[in-house]
Amino acid sequence: MSDEMKEMINHLNDTELKSLLLQVFLRMQLVEERKGYSEQQFFLDVKNTYTDLLAYKNNQASNLQTQFHTTHLVFGDSPAGSLRVALKESDLIQHENIITFSDIFSIGPIWNLHTSEGINNRYNWLCTHISMDDEVLFTYEDNFNKNILALEQIPSHHKIIIWTGENAHEQTALRLMLYILKEKTNEIVMININEAYKMHFDRAEIEFTPRHMGEISAKQIKQIYENNKNSHVLTQTERKTFEQQWLQLCVEKEDLRIWENNEIISVSENYYDAYIVDTVRNFEEKKKNNDFIKTAKIIGEVMGHLNQYIGDRFIEYRIIRLIMNGVFDMEGVPTAMRYYSIKIK
């Protein structure tokens, strides 16, 4: 009940919150003034207010569901924000829904991630390996389960559009989503942002290859969507292939995945450790001294030269491991990457 209540409060706007608080305070005042308004009646009124508000919000959510005709699946807050802007500028935001999985699926365990047990297993790994905001961790399992429920409840008349790219993060998510949607009869369209980018933008002028959807602007997403919204609908054979690939992928034990030769490759989590060490060594050679180097600077350098998308916090996790293993010395406090520095021992 507490999670349901928190979710409801979080979705109230300022006017609704003020009105609710005013009602509670006025009733508390009546109880204190002892004018025939008992504490029992106060409790019953507050309970009725909660019940009415919950029913109103559920009805509001149901009405929103019926007005949509398209559901987008996006993997990350940044691409979701850009897509939302693109839909708004195209006057589509009122009719096209976005379901966002705020995660990086190229890192961490994905064992049976289509089940509550698998989600809990991933959550426990994130808690002990990746530096994340407390609020994100607190709501992680709940949000993941709610997103899966939202997928299962997509009306059969909705077109489903899955945004993906040539990277292990979005390709892993694609296979997971198609497995969860395996019983759905909806039309499912896959938009590959890398293929669309090459097709719609002059790469002679823009020497840039996006590693994932989060690196594409809202303006570019708008143009890509306008040219691809009626693109190829996945056949049942294609969907079955992706579903089978997920079943093979979700039993592998490695906690890191890369995209190579158009397939997802599971590798050891220390796969990039040697590259991280070489990056630090190159900095030290350029400086020609033995000073500590800001961790944030190292992480930025590593990320800037990788052709994979694994996120800065995974790289920081590997740096912490290298410190614990005696490869690096550390100066400062590792509460955030900007607060400490490293050098080779």
Task: Please count the residues of the chain.
Answer: 345
Which spans in 68-115 are helix H? Answer: 77-89
Measured distance CA(107)–CA(130) in Å, rounded: 10
| 338, two tokens | 């900007």
Q: What CATH number does the domain located at 273-344 have?
A: 1.10.10
pLDDT digits (tens, 9 = 90+) for 104-147: 999 999 999 999 999 999 999 999 999 888 888 888 999 999 99
Tell which residue, 101, 109, 105, has the closest CA to residue 128. Answer: 109
pLDDT digits (tens, 9 = 90+) for 261-287: 999 999 999 999 999 999 999 998 887
| 13, two tokens | 């706007």
CATH topology of domain 68-266: Rossmann fold (3.40.50)
Instruction: List, by residue range, all CATH 1.10.10 domains of the chain.
Output: 273-344
**Under DSSP, is residue 265 helix (H, G, I), strand (E, B) or coil?**
strand
| Residue ranges in the chain modelled with pLDDT below 70 | 1-16, 35-36, 54-66, 202-207
Q: What is the mean pLDDT of the chain?
A: 88
Q: Which residues pair with 233 in a beta bridge?
A: 189
Instruction: List, by residue range, all CATH 3.40.50 domains of the chain.
Output: 68-266
